[in-house]
Amino acid sequence: MLKNWPILYKDILLKGDLNSSTAVCTLWTERKAVEKAIGDSKLYSVIGNLYSAQGINAVIRNCLANPKIRTIILWGAELSLSGHALLHLMKYGIDEKRQIINARGEIEKELPARALELFRRELKIIDLRGRPAEELRKTLKQLPQEKPSFKSQIFPKSQPIVKPLPAEATGFRVEGKTAAQTWLKILNEVYKYGRYKHTRYAQTNELKEILNLVAVVGEENPEVPYFPQYLPFSKDELVAYYPEFLSARQLLGTAYNYGHRLRKRFGLDQIAAMKKLIKLRPDSKKMIAVTIDPKLDWARANKGDIPCLTQILGSIQDNRFILTAHFRSQDMVHGWPRNALALRKLQAQIIEGTKYKLGPLVIITHSAHIYSDDFKLVENLLMDHYEKELGFSPAVHFEFDPRGNMVVEVVKKRGRPSRGEKPPYGYIKVTLYEPNGGPPVKEWRGKKAGELVWRIGDGNYIVLPSHTLYIGTELQRAEEALWHNLNYHQDPAPNTLGL
């Protein structure tokens, strides 16, 4: 028996009898709950979760490293179709792109075809999803002890090299119309600027993390969400995930679920209370619902799962209901998009029967991270979809700034300059207008682009980097025209700069 086995997630997997030929995969169900339900650690080798199809690579690596494992029992809550993906891998294999056929998930290139075929041939999967715990115990007792049929095999780790760029220590912000588009911006932010940190939840024990990320989803339709094919889960998986937020029922086998904590756990339906408060006092700043049970969750801090979502807050502004959700920690690849779409659904439910419209959804994540297992996936997502999805190209590159639009003009002195008159021949005028064609709200005048840049920039009158850069180029053009007595016309948008 390998002394250092399990070779992956050694600190996460619950160990029983390491000579046993059976392992238990609990999907999303808490490992400790399954350990307690089984009651006899001699009946299994290890117990572990499978939160996403990407984790199948670790299952393969651990099983091929330990030939004594011959059977894997699937039992637990199926919230992301990861068990479905494992079963389809065993039945159908992978295609030429190393994607699991008829399911989500990609097998790492470091696992050769012979290794994958060995795993599919020599290991057996018993599907007990949805079955009672008693059937799990009964099956474990009846399974015979099988002998190894191959030698231990260990393969090179998948280790893409990603060097973080310099960035602020905390306080990042992204915004998009839909959850999917906002998600791409999040991945871009964390992938480029995240700092490396140790974790138990990745093959290489690494993740990339940024702290205190604010993500704003502006226009998502909760009933018919924008659902591009590049999201890392299917519509069926999303529907299966909704009860995590929307149901007051404690989901079987889970340490917690948000809906139960928000609606029932503390003897109070906090969502119903928020609805009532919206109708009675829409200006109230007390629309809050919490999930954290300090005594219980601190007791689990080193040996169990505690909620990632800690609280939600609501506000009515401009006749719209804005929902803010605080997460202590989030897997931004697989967790964030599911949570965002489910929260949008919850946001819509809260204002049912009121006169208020849906406002933005704001999600604040303290630890926003990407596990090293997903680095390659994120790299490919950004390369294939980021610019195309957000409409960024030399021909079309325009975003509306929520702080307004700026008009740059060169105001010249009347008539021709007199002989000997030195430039400048007038001044530059910059006017800030309200968004969506509103009236002017601020004006600046100056003779140099630099002085106007600092005066506008110091007041934070522009929020979008693209808008800031655009106004900077226009001010430079305006200064050139002013000092050389040339005609100036502001380009209507950044995509007319002759690119």
Hunting for tokens 């000997």 — which residue is that?
420
Q: Is the pLDDT assigned to residue 173 strictly greater than 50?
A: yes
In whole angstroms, what is the distance from residue 271 CA to residue 263 CA?
Answer: 6
Q: Is the pLDDT assigned to residue 358 strictly greater than 50?
A: yes
Q: What is the structure's pLDDT at 392? A: 59
pLDDT in tens, 239-259: 989 998 998 888 666 777 899
Quick check: 228 and 180 in contact, CB under 8 A?
yes
Q: Is the pLDDT assigned to residue 95 strictly greater than 50?
A: yes
pLDDT in tens, 72-87: 999 998 888 899 999 9
* Residue 335 in tokens: 């967790």
Q: Is the pLDDT assigned to residue 374 strictly greater than 80?
A: yes
Q: What is the structure's pLDDT at 496? A: 45
The alpha carbon of residue 432 and the mean position of all alpha carbons in its chain are separated, in whole angstroms, by 35
In whole angstroms, what is the distance from residue 262 CA to residue 269 CA?
Answer: 6
Q: What is the structure's pLDDT at 17? A: 95
In whole angstroms, what is the distance from residue 433 CA to residue 371 CA?
Answer: 43
Q: Which residues pair with 106 in a beta bridge?
A: 99
In whole angstroms, what is the distance from residue 83 CA to residue 105 CA?
Answer: 11
Predicted confidence band of residue 162 (pLDDT cuts 50, 70, 90): low
Hunting for tokens 């012979």 — which residue is that?
114
In whole angstroms, what is the distance from residue 399 CA to residue 332 CA?
Answer: 24
DSSP H stretches of helix in 153-252: 179-193, 235-241, 243-246
pLDDT in tens, 482-496: 998 888 998 765 444
Predicted confidence band of residue 367 (pLDDT cuts 50, 70, 90): very high
Q: What is the structure's pLDDT at 395? A: 47
Amino acid at 215: A
Q: What is the structure's pLDDT at 165? A: 84
Percent of the chain at pLDDT > 70 equals 95
Predicted confidence band of residue 463 (pLDDT cuts 50, 70, 90): confident
Quick check: 147 and 188 in contact, CB under 8 A?
no
Q: Is the dihedral of CA 267, 272, 274, 276 positive or negative?
A: negative
For the chain, the domains span 14-142, 172-390, 405-496
In whole angstroms, what is the distance from residue 412 CA to residue 377 CA?
Answer: 55
Angle CA 36–37–41, to nearest 5: 60
DSSP code for 283: T
Q: Does the structural domain 172-390 have CATH classification 3.30.572.10?
A: yes
Q: What is the structure's pLDDT at 494? A: 47
Class at the top of the CATH hierarchy for domain 14-142: alpha beta
Predicted confidence band of residue 398 (pLDDT cuts 50, 70, 90): low
In whole angstroms, what is the distance from residue 360 CA to residue 318 CA?
Answer: 12
The pTM for the full model equals 0.69
Of the two residues 310 and 457, the one the predictor is more confident about is 310
Q: What is the structure's pLDDT at 159? A: 64
Q: What is the mean pLDDT of the chain?
A: 90
Highest mean pLDDT among 61-75, 162-176, 296-310, 425-439: 61-75
Q: How many CA atoms lie within 13 A of 192 on its CB side?
A: 12
* Residue 227 in tokens: 């659902």
Of the two residues 47 and 398, the one the predictor is more confident about is 47
Q: What is the structure's pLDDT at 387? A: 83
* Residue 464 in tokens: 């979008």
Q: What is the mean pLDDT of residues 109-129?
A: 95
Q: Is the pLDDT assigned to residue 90 strictly greater than 90?
A: yes
